[in-house]
Structure 1
Amino acid sequence: MNKDLLTLAPKLKTLTDDVLYHDIWERRLLNKRERSIATLSVLISLGRFEQLPHHINLAKQHNVNEYELIELFTHLAFYSGWPAAMSALKQLRDNQ
């Protein structure tokens, strides 16, 4: 996530920090690993590739390994399209 960009919109930064990361990501019904997989799936499906490096790194911190990421991207090729999966793989490779 681009922290510099959030300085342009202080309220968006507050909502990101307080609501998204300190509330939503801390809820217990889904663990952080599951939330990371869900988030990556949505970002890839919507073509939000600019956000992928941050969320790939976050997923790795949440114990999603590279083989699981590759399997996720392969699975998503059938639901989000080959270009989306290939773009996600490129982000994974470029941000190692």
Structure 2
Amino acid sequence: MTTRRSVLGDVHVDRAGAATTEFDRPFQELITEAAWGHVWSRPALTKRERSMITIALLAALGQDDEVAMHVRATVNTGATREDIREALLHVAIYAGVPAANHAIKIAKKVFAELDAEKAG
């Protein structure tokens, strides 16, 4: 849970926890343990590197909401806008231009939201 909070932020994790029901509690426990407790907590890659890989994979799979969430999370992982751009260029070549194009639109929207939040 510590890693999940450090990447996604307390607000997101608290919101997910508040929305959890008996039906999806096992799923939430699974992703917390497997994704955050095992994969994201391994020492071989930095959070920045994991962020770039995750965004590229989610973009290639067309997982729009997850792309947006992980682009937003880069404020916590250290992945820069340039890092995201480079990851999405790889998506264009290896997973297809339409997937990358759509993910770029999502990233631009998230960046605009982050910039507006920063401006106050």
Alignment gaps of 5+ in structure 2: 1-11, 112-120
**1:63 to partner: Cα distance:** 0.9
**1:74 to partner: Cα distance:** 2.0
Which letter does structure 1 place at the counterpart of 2:84? L
RMSD of aligned Cα (Å): 1.9
SS at match of 1:26: coil
Q: What are the Cα deviations for residues 46-89 of structure 1, in whole angstroms up to 9, with x where unaligned?
A: 11122111111223321111122112212321111111111111
Say whether the 8 Å CA contact 2:68–2:107 is kept in structure 1: yes
Q: After the TM superposition, which parts of structure 1 deviate over 4 Å for at least 4 consecutive aligned residues?
A: none
TM-score (norm 2): 0.69
State the structure with more CA Rg: 2
TM-score (norm 1): 0.83
**Residues paired across the two proteins, number:** 95
**1:13 to partner: Cα distance:** 0.7
- Residue 48 of structure 2 is matched in structure 1 by 33
Alignment gaps of 5+ in structure 1: none
Q: What are the Cα deviations for residues 27-57 of structure 1, in whole angstroms up to 9, with x where unaligned?
A: 1112211111111111111111221111112
- Identity, % of aligned positions: 26
- Residue 32 of structure 2 is matched in structure 1 by 17
Say whether the 8 Å CA contact 2:59–2:103 is kept in structure 1: yes
- Residue 71 of structure 1 is matched in structure 2 by 86
